[in-house]
Structure 1
């Protein structure tokens, strides 16, 4: 029995020809018959010089190529193949052929053994695809036999992911052809690089379903690859090209039949071939051969290239025979699945397609769990929680992500350890915020309930509880506290006490505040913020670091005109910046007539806790002046704006993204760095993501998301496709521009080539 490598080694001209051809992803076939052995490759056929249909004289099959008789040769017996008439649509001379069943419309593609045309089937009035055996192979018994076998295999496999066969016929000139469903779409190999891993995995699993069904009927495909999978416009995934399929009977007594089948045509696609296919070891063929090919496609999905390669086609075949697999930077459990499926020995691979699919499903779950853990870590620790405006939300959302990861994969040790660390960090921050009960619960959830830190928090809580018992002594001390504060009766929200620091901060006399309902005090610059404060107090009984603006009143504020101005300010502010005059007679310098100063807004933080004072529940509210901090923040914002302006003036590779307008802006230097024609304009965010290498899209998306959420700065490397289709290595630095309400109004930064 001849193998593929034996044939190549024995034919020096053939080996030379293969060595001169670049490695590709095309099918090669060694056809073995009593007349001649033929090695076929799609690029060796000159389609333009071949007529659509050549008249075939079956008697010539009893003659040699030079016309001499072949002793013992027998005419070809195709079995039952009904005749059908077929003509070209352009053949006007055949307009009167009422019995023509198929009219050819155009050519769809070709391979080493057949040509595929689009055709119209007259009887059913539908568009079909017709595959025709090449005319130069029509007189070859083994080629005809394999062509008929391919059609009958497709017809026997009634599965939604196997292309449907409509008809198997012979035309009036003796040419074999079969009609099948025409797919409005493209082959997978033309789209695989543009799809993300999840989309490609979904397609692979549907291909595996078709192969699992074929195996249940005893068939081995032998040439699985993306090029042989058709993707329809409406979600169809169809396995095609069953020309190398053989039937693998499960019982040992049928093994000789398999060997005979496989020996008549050895081949496949070197870039994906299993070692037994490349070496021609027919005795090792089995269902594990298709498992290898499925693993090879999975490897391409993850690495971006097929498993075998060489400097030329001969090197690629030899690499497949040795099972030399190209290296990749891709890592993870799915890579391990692909490598096991591509084990050199068939018995070391997955025992069945079902086992291969189950391994993918398990690993996909694990990969998703790990991805959630990575997101949780970035969310919590890309910047220290203490630096966040809302560390509770930051850590809380990270804990939620980690819990989701553990639900997907309960045995995920990284998720369990990450959850413990997050809970400990949250407990520490809660303790710093004074939430001692929450802190203790978090330590206990993390399994650190008996730790030294938890013991300290318990001691703090005990001291706090004891202090609450002595709150009756608080009133006298409260009055002289250096921190501004109000003591409010919880039952009716009436101010019971204010300290000296509070009256100094607000510019009021104590008598003007004591006895007033907190919701009606005219110290609020923004009525809507006052309403939010009251509602949150009513809902939670406490409040922490509530940011708002109060109006500081000067000593002459009792003037009726000044009072009128202040009231107008309060009614119209509603969160807007307080500027301009609101009553008649106020000058542009903000001064009332005769030198009376108007009330000035001050930025404050309010915190409130319930305490027991004389057996009655009180609300202790402390007020902290943060005007200087806000002024510094505004100065910082101005500095950032100036920096962006300087970058634009300097002509650096700058960029910015407006999330409201969904608009990206590039400097002229950025077009040069990315290799994009300025006439195209800056890409949209969606288009930009499509230009980024699929392996880098997640990290870029996460960086943008983090910057959008909290203005975090970042520096990332990624690959972006230029106008020639080449990926360029780039380095991006940037951060979000956050307004005073904590909303990201702009992303900006610089772009440069990565070194």
Structure 2
């Protein structure tokens, strides 16, 4: 099965006020036809590969905060003051896409092309028919043991392939996983690298003119994603995928990670009644959901061993996120203790706790399609 993405609902024309097109837009050998979704970063289209006569999905970089659609279909900065912001964010967008394009794995969306055209950047990805895990869970609420047992190994393999390519996902949720016609999962990875989030933060900062924006927290995000200066690493993605798996078993996602720092009301999977899952599977999921980054499995290889009843190695110097010369989110070795240090945890935990108690959390992460 080719890795790819699936549409979210039926394609629809994009209104002109949203930067839409009056007619299909050509991007080299590809054609943007109808919209699948839009976000602060840009627009996702149902597209067509004219050379292969095949459906594709195309992401166009069009941050409405400082870019605008021109009458000829091209994209341009809104004004002279936006030129540098647009150029910097476009470079980050393309850098993350270039890095993902190097990943070739059946459980990771395949990037066919990364190109600049019409004054902006485009990422062309394969399309695969199927349902998102989110849609499956909305219909059935949970997965049975055979389905979860079949889905878990390829999910771990795909995530490990992403990490081996020195990339982090940082936005794993049920709607970022597509189950193809054969039931095999495909992780939709583009736009979720750390560098992609850097571009999103820049856009949000420009849009808010320096004011912080309040957004609902993601139920699948670990607490370190609520801080700009916390260390992110493989353990960050492990928490998010663990939260997805927790919902597959329990029927509900875990409470928000910052809320769990105040009062951890998450029901341990081992306490659920009428479950036929293996104890090792339940304990493996549970291990990923520790609110303390340093106490989770630090790498997918160590996490995988927990699902077979083994134990992960102690004292692993896990990769930490850094930025490469090509502008993509990458990982590097750090000889310090993995995860955030106690002092660092205090810096981001205190404001997060205060905000959670007030009923709102600050995040710069864009969670739209």
TM over 0.5: yes
- How far apart are the structure 1 equivalents of 2:200 and 2:261? 17
2:20 aligned residue (36, 52, 73): 52
Evaluate the alpha carbon distance shift between residue 196 and residue 239 of structure 1 in structure 2; reply closer, same or farther with a 3 A threshold.
same
What residue number does 2:106 align with? Answer: 160
- Native 8 Å contact 1:187 1:231 kept in 2: yes
- How far apart are the structure 2 equivalents of 1:170 and 1:236? 32
1:326 aligned residue (256, 266, 278): 266
What residue number does 1:667 align with? Answer: none
Shift of residue 272, structure 1, vs aligned partner: 0.8
2:135 aligned residue (180, 190, 193): 190
Structure 2: give runs of 5+ residues left out of the alignment.
1-13, 68-76, 78-84, 205-214, 274-278, 311-369
Q: Comparing both structures, which one devotes a greater share of its residues to helix?
A: 1
Does residue 206 of structure 1 match 2:134?
A: no
- How far apart are the structure 1 equivalents of 2:164 and 2:133? 25
Ranked by relative contact order (alpha carbons within 8 Å, sequence separation 6 or more), the top structure is 2
What residue number does 1:124 align with? Answer: 52
- Native 8 Å contact 1:276 1:285 kept in 2: yes
What residue number does 1:147 align with? Answer: 93
In the alignment of these two chains, the number of paired residues is 257
2:255 aligned residue (308, 332, 337): 308
- Native 8 Å contact 2:170 2:192 kept in 1: yes
Does residue 222 of structure 1 match 2:179?
A: no
Evaluate the alpha carbon distance shift between residue 278 and residue 202 of structure 1 in structure 2; reply closer, same or farther with a 3 A threshold.
farther
Evaluate the alpha carbon distance shift between residue 125 and residue 151 of structure 1 in structure 2; reply closer, same or farther with a 3 A threshold.
same
Shift of residue 277, structure 1, vs aligned partner: 1.0
- Native 8 Å contact 1:166 1:179 kept in 2: yes
- How far apart are the structure 2 equivalents of 1:325 and 1:346? 18
What residue number does 1:115 align with? Answer: 43
Shift of residue 178, structure 1, vs aligned partner: 1.4
Does residue 178 of structure 1 match 2:123?
A: yes
Evaluate the alpha carbon distance shift between residue 207 and residue 143 of structure 1 in structure 2; reply closer, same or farther with a 3 A threshold.
farther
Runs of 4+ in 1 over 6 A off after TM superposition: 259-268
Does residue 348 of structure 1 match 2:295?
A: yes
Evaluate the alpha carbon distance shift between residue 145 and residue 200 of structure 1 in structure 2; reply closer, same or farther with a 3 A threshold.
farther
Matches within 5 A, 1:356-395: 356-362=303-309
1:244 match: secondary structure: coil
Calculate the TM-score normalised by the size of structure 2. 0.60
Does residue 101 of structure 1 match 2:29?
A: yes
Shift of residue 211, structure 1, vs aligned partner: 1.3
- How far apart are the structure 2 equivalents of 1:244 and 1:268? 18
- Native 8 Å contact 2:220 2:241 kept in 1: no
- How far apart are the structure 2 equivalents of 1:345 and 1:220? 18
Cα deviation 1:707-753 (Å, max 9, x = unaligned): xxxxxxxxxxxxxxxxxxxxxxxxxxxxxxxxxxxxxxxxxxxxxxx
What residue number does 1:88 align with? Answer: 24
2:134 match: secondary structure: helix
2:95 match: secondary structure: helix
RMSD across aligned positions (CA): 3.5
Shift of residue 216, structure 1, vs aligned partner: 1.9
Shift of residue 209, structure 1, vs aligned partner: 0.8
Calculate the TM-score normalised by the size of structure 1. 0.31
2:55 match: secondary structure: strand
Evaluate the alpha carbon distance shift between residue 271 and residue 260 of structure 1 in structure 2; reply closer, same or farther with a 3 A threshold.
closer
Evaluate the alpha carbon distance shift between residue 132 and residue 261 of structure 1 in structure 2; reply closer, same or farther with a 3 A threshold.
closer
Matches within 5 A, 1:240-279: 240-246=188-194, 270-279=218-227
- How far apart are the structure 1 equivalents of 2:148 and 2:241? 12
Cα deviation 1:296-330 (Å, max 9, x = unaligned): 11211121111125xxxxxxx74266584533652
- How far apart are the structure 2 equivalents of 1:269 and 1:181? 30
What residue number does 1:410 align with? Answer: none
- Native 8 Å contact 2:40 2:203 kept in 1: no
- Native 8 Å contact 1:154 1:162 kept in 2: no
- How far apart are the structure 2 equivalents of 1:111 and 1:260? 15
1:232 aligned residue (180, 190, 199): 180
- Native 8 Å contact 1:103 1:119 kept in 2: yes
1:221 match: secondary structure: coil
1:298 aligned residue (245, 254, 257): 245
Shift of residue 143, structure 1, vs aligned partner: 3.8
Matches within 5 A, 1:553-564: none
What residue number does 2:358 align with? Answer: none
- Native 8 Å contact 1:185 1:233 kept in 2: yes
- Native 8 Å contact 1:149 1:243 kept in 2: no
